[in-house]
């Protein structure tokens, strides 16, 4: 392989088609040494299987720099490793706790689990500031609406990752929290003035990126900074702002170029060339490996015809080489946890009492959980929802759809009449699913002593001024359901504080 083609491969990270390294992919990697890999749900059969996969990937690079093996292990709804690791609540739950030392401990535990899996880069923490209440692409992935809190807790979590030997990657630069459209589905446009954006959305990045090892771009059109090009493809954003004004010297990863924000705007391969020219150092491709090979060849052609300067490519490859030379080695699979139980501790401390009382008698309650199979952007496909009944077997439970049809309220009310139990309503984005809010209102009218729990973004609490007892948990994963049970039935006090100022959110 000639030097130019090797440099082109060294700025492309790819996605593998399954949970193991097949012979064809292994043969390709030995002739096309990509910068690295991003692991997704289809690559994860078990912790042990992931470690076998990552060991196999490293063996393909035995004679050179180790590959980046990256993952989205944020906590909350965006995690790829589930079994065999500490389950962590959402970053908004950490925002409700507000404890930087806790955030650092969480980062240290995530790092240990990732190194057990053979991963060396985490695409976290999220530095996006919550601004738009209908933003489901970020939502509870954000620490909250206060840029100072996002900076403090994001920096602490990143410190924990770094201390644990994992490269943290701040995302999504320059800030995705003001969008309503999910960039997995289309290109979001932000129409706010530059002064507001810099003082709010950009502030955590400005504070933390100098000296940081890595950042990930956002596929957003921020008209105040560049009215024509998405941030990922904008020299003004990735070179003038990121490098010159902020002083960032680490590796700039793009978000996946297979997201519709890029596919619809320019196309994957064309987007890779434009991103590199704009100042990105590694383009993430999450489609077929054959397309990644095409992308490498097209990068070479772009340098040869002058579309992409060779100096820019060499600079990007050099930054990737520096990062790869710094990557830590894996830990043994049986390495003991450094902070066992920190996920449930964080979730328990995050539970926020908005009003009323936070305790309940499990033997006298019927849980009504609004839930459905979803497939949403970075969260991916979700089929299973942890049950409070597993934490308190004396409970009874009714599961209703996220967007219930007419007649569901009558069914729930009939069941409540049959059992003579107090309802506990587990709400999931009722501010986005109005039928869910209507059913809950019907239940509250008939049972004013019902306890309402917002399990995702806390905006649901504004929908139920009639609720006497109202809690927020900010996540519905195993750690948060366990922490919620500790508060509802175990006597733990609800210590969290709302991490979102409603007046600051549209």
Q: With the C-alpha atoms ordered 290, 291, 295, 297, is the resulting torsion angle positive or negative?
A: positive
In sequence order, what are the beta bridge partners of 366?
396, 423
Q: What is the DSSP string of 142-200?
A: S--S-HHHHHHHHHHHHHHHHHTT-EE-EEEET--TT-SS-TTTS--EE---HHHHHHT
Distance CA 463, CA 197 (A): 29
Is residue 74 within 8 A of residue 126, CB to CB? The reply is: yes
- Bridging pattern class, strands 282-284 and 251-256: parallel
Query: By CB neighbour count within 10 A (0-12 exposed, 13-18 middle, 19+ buried), where does 197 fall?
Result: buried
- Tokens, residue 4: 């130019």
Q: Is 424 helix (H, G, I), strand (E, B) or coil?
A: strand
- Cis-peptide into 174, omega within 30 deg: yes
The count of other CB atoms within 10 Å of the CB of residue 46 is 14
Closest CA to 219 of 246, 248, 190: 190
The phi and psi torsions of 254 (rounded to 5 degrees) equal -80, 155
Residue 335 to residue 331: CA distance in whole angstroms: 7
User: Interior CA angle at 310 toward 309 and 314, to 5°?
Assistant: 125
Beta-carbon contacts of residue 336 (< 8 Å; ≥ 6 apart): none
Catalytic residue among 255, 460, 476, 486: 255
Share of the chain residues as helix, strand and coil, in percent rounded to the nearest 5: 40, 15, 45
Let me know if 255 is a catalytic residue.
Answer: yes
Element housing 253 (H / E): strand 251-256
Residues with catalytic roles: 255
């Amino acid at each position: 392989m000639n030097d130019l083609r090797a440099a082109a491969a060294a700025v492309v990270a790819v996605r593998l088609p399954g949970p193991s390294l097949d012979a064809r992919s292994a043969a390709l990697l030995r002739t096309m040494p990509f910068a690295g890999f991003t692991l997704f749900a289809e690559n994860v059969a078990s912790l042990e299987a992931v470690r076998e996969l990552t060991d196999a990937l490293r063996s393909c690079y035995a004679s050179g720099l180790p590959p980046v093996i990256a993952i989205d292990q944020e906590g909350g709804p965006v995690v790829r490793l589930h079994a065999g690791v500490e389950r962590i609540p959402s970053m908004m739950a950490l925002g409700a706790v507000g404890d930087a030392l806790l955030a650092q401990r969480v980062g240290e535990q995530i790092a240990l689990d990732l190194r057990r899996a053979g991963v060396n880069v985490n695409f976290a923490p999220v530095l996006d500031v919550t601004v738009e209440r209908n933003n489901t692409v970020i939502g509870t992935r954000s620490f909250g609406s206060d840029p100072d809190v996002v900076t403090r807790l994001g920096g602490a979590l990143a410190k924990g990752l770094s201390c644990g030997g994992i490269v943290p990657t701040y995302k999504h630069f320059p800030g995705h929290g003001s969008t309503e459209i999910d960039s997995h589905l289309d290109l979001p446009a932000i129409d706010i003035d530059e002064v507001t954006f810099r003082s709010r959305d950009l502030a955590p990045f400005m504070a933390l990126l100098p000296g940081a090892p890595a950042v990930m771009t956002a596929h957003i059109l921020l008209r105040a900074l560049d009215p024509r090009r998405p941030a990922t493809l904008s020299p003004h954003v990735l070179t003038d702002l990121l490098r010159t004004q902020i002083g960032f010297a680490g590796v700039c990863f793009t978000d996946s170029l297979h997201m519709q924000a890029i596919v619809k705007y320019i196309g994957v391969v064309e987007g890779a060339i434009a991103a590199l020219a704009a100042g990105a150092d590694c383009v993430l491709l999450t489609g077929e490996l054959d397309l990644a090979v095409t992308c490498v060849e097209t990068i070479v052609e772009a340098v040869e015809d002058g579309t992409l300067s060779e100096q820019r490519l060499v600079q990007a490859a050099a930054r990737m080489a520096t990062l790869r030379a710094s990557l830590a080695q894996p830990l043994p699979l049986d390495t003991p946890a450094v902070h066992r139980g920190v996920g449930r501790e964080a979730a328990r401390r995050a539970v926020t009492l908005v009003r009323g009382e936070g305790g309940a008698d499990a033997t006298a309650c019927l849980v009504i959980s609004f839930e459905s199979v979803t497939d949403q952007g970075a969260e991916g496909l979700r089929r299973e929802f942890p049950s409070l009944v597993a934490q308190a077997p004396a409970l009874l439970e009714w599961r209703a759809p996220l967007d219930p049809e007419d007649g569901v309220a009558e069914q729930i009310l009939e069941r409540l009449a049959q059992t003579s139990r107090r309802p506990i309503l587990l709400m999931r984005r009722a501010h986005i699913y109005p039928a869910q809010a209507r059913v809950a209102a019907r239940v509250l009218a008939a049972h004013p002593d019902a306890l309402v729990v917002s399990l995702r973004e806390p905006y649901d609490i504004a929908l139920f001024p009639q609720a006497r007892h109202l809690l927020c948990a900010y996540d519905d994963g195993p750690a948060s359901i366990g922490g919620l049970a500790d508060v509802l039935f175990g006597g733990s006090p609800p210590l969290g504080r709302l991490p979102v100022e409603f007046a600051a959110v549209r």
